[in-house]
Amino acid sequence: MIRLNNDTPNDVLQEVKIGDMVTDTFSKTGLVENIEISDDGLYRIYEFNLVTGRTITVKK
């Protein structure tokens, strides 16, 4: 299981793929269904959509 939060290194965030088991260490745990990466100029935003319908968002 991969822990996703703002302290997760960039190389780990880049290696997460669909089907991986992830958690935010609080209430969101599940398999990754979709990954969206965007850049707002200040932060790179990773959105990991889980099969449970929840989304884990990490800004780096």
Per-residue model confidence as pLDDT tens digits over 2-14: 999 999 999 999 9
pLDDT attached to residue 33: 98
| C-alpha 41, offset from chain centre | 19
**Cα–Cα distance for residue pair 30/17, rounded to 1 Å:** 13
Per-residue model confidence as pLDDT tens digits over 1-60: 999 999 999 999 999 999 999 999 889 999 999 999 999 999 999 999 999 999 999 999
**Cα–Cα distance for residue pair 42/55, rounded to 1 Å:** 21
**Cα–Cα distance for residue pair 19/7, rounded to 1 Å:** 22
Domain count for the chain: 1
Q: Which domain holds residue 10?
A: 2-59
